[in-house]
Amino acid sequence: MTIEKVTVVGAGVMGRGIAYVSALAGFQTTIVDVSEEQLQLATKQIGQLANKAIQRKKIDANEAERLLHNVHTSMNLETTVAETDFLIEAVPEKRDLKRHVLETVDGYAPKHIILASNTSTISPTELGSYTKRPQQVAAMHFFNPVHRMGLVEIVKGLETSHETVSIIRAVAERMGKETVEVKEFPGFVTSRISAMVGNEAFYMLQEGIATAEDIDKAIRLGLNYPMGPLELGDLVGLDTRLNNLKYLHETLGEKFRPAPLLEQYVKAGRLGRKTGRGVYDYTNDGELIKK
Ligand SMILES: NC(=O)c1ccc[n+]([C@@H]2O[C@H](COP(=O)([O-])OP(=O)(O)OC[C@H]3O[C@@H](n4cnc5c(N)ncnc54)[C@H](O)[C@@H]3O)[C@@H](O)[C@H]2O)c1
């Protein structure tokens, strides 16, 4: 099957990164969101990523122009999906919301469409059950920031066909990503580990064991992680991190109970880089300044 038209549903942290790598790979890429503002921000950020890629000599001006030409936006999921070969769902990690999106897509999409979800934790079998074509549904889990991270985790649901997995692998490879295939289990491989480490760091912060800076420094330099767990949480989005933990707590038990301090930050609207403040403050031109 030839994939030409890709739709990314959700223009947030992940959706815009996925749309960037998709357009760069030469797919006609439409981003759909319910918020006009998010679509505008996504278009702006994709332009900035393209400019940075030119400066770093990763692409030339012609490639950047082609890339930007391949990006489209829409607020109408029904009409967009009717013309789509491959859909990547990247709306917030809430079951009801994903269900609503997948049911809508199922009602309007052509027969051959592949439905990939960027879910970090939710069962692709369950996501497939929201449609009448579960054999064409799987998780396609990208990492943040999408343009820099080299992996896509592919998770098959009970009914997902081999053909669907091969198509997802081929699309991921065309986007320049390596893939791993993971058995369905809450949190797959990466989200389970990342949520556990991030949550533990929040408990440490809450217990006053060290400052946020020192927790991050210890993990970076002592354990050789490229980023500390608290700065990573701010990059991922603390609301996203909390949603993942709530799901893992529900499915895998007590060891994933979200740290109360994390819940408090989310209640306060301190969601990380995307709101200008999380564990750290980014309001000063994106620079990391003290908590
Ligand atoms: N943030 C990360 O680091 C990360 C990493 C891997 C996977 N994920 C997963 O990716 C998904 C998206 O996460 P995110 O961090 O990009 O979220 P986000 O909150 O940054 O963005 C979500 C976007 O979806 C839009 N949206 C909400 N309802 C919608 C609807 N009905 N139709 C269309 N758009 C809608 C919102 O307006 C928003 O722009 C989640 O499932 C998350 O678990 C996130």
Residues 76-133 have pLDDT tens digits of: 999 999 999 999 999 999 999 999 999 999 999 999 999 999 998 899 999 999 999 9
**pLDDT tens-digit series, residues 169-196:** 999 999 999 999 998 988 899 989 999 9
So what's the pLDDT on residue 288? 54
Asked if residue 274 lies in contact with residue 45, where contact means CB atoms within 8 angstroms, the answer is no
Q: Is 171 helix (H, G, I), strand (E, B) or coil?
A: helix
Q: Is 87 helix (H, G, I), strand (E, B) or coil?
A: strand
So what's the pLDDT on residue 286? 53
Q: What is the mean pLDDT of residues 202-224?
A: 98
Cα 160 to averaged position of ligand 1 atoms, centre (Å): 23
Nearest CA to 14 among 90, 98, 120?
90
Q: What is the mean pLDDT of residues 241-252?
A: 94
Share of the chain above pLDDT 70, in %: 98
Is the ipTM here above 0.85? yes
Cα 207 to averaged position of ligand 1 atoms, centre (Å): 30
Question: Which 8-state DSSP code applies to residue 279?
Answer: S
Ligand 1 cavity residues, CB under 6 Å: 9-15, 32-35, 38, 90-93, 97, 101, 118-120, 141-144, 236-237, 240
Structure-token pair, residue 286: 């994106």
Cα 254 to averaged position of ligand 1 atoms, centre (Å): 26
So what's the pLDDT on residue 266? 98
Mean confidence (pLDDT) of the chain: 95
Question: Which 8-state DSSP code applies to residue 180?
Answer: E
Least trusted range by pLDDT, from 186-195, 198-207, 278-287: 278-287
Asked if residue 130 lies in contact with residue 19, where contact means CB atoms within 8 angstroms, the answer is no
Interacting residues of 155 by C-beta distance below 8 A, sequence separation 6+: 124, 138, 139, 141, 181, 182, 183, 184, 188
Cα 236 to averaged position of ligand 1 atoms, centre (Å): 10
Q: Whose CA is nearest to atom 27 of ligand 1?
A: 91
Cα 118 to averaged position of ligand 1 atoms, centre (Å): 9
Q: Whose CA is nearest to atom 1 of ligand 1?
A: 236
So what's the pLDDT on residue 117? 98
Q: Are strands 86-89 and 114-117 parallel, antiparallel or unpaired?
A: parallel
CA distances from 142 to 118, 136, 154, 180 (A): 6, 18, 9, 11
So what's the pLDDT on residue 121? 86
Nearest CA to 170 among 27, 49, 58, 72?
27
Q: With a cut of 90, say whether residue 290 has pLDDT above it.
A: no
- Work out which ligand 1 atom sits closest to the CA atom of 11: 39
So what's the pLDDT on residue 1? 80
- Work out which ligand 1 atom sits closest to the CA atom of 121: 43
Query: How many residues in total does the chain contain?
Result: 291
Which residue is listed with tokens 């692709």? 124
* Mutational test site, ligand 1, from 8, 14, 45, max ligand atoms within 8 Å of CB: 14
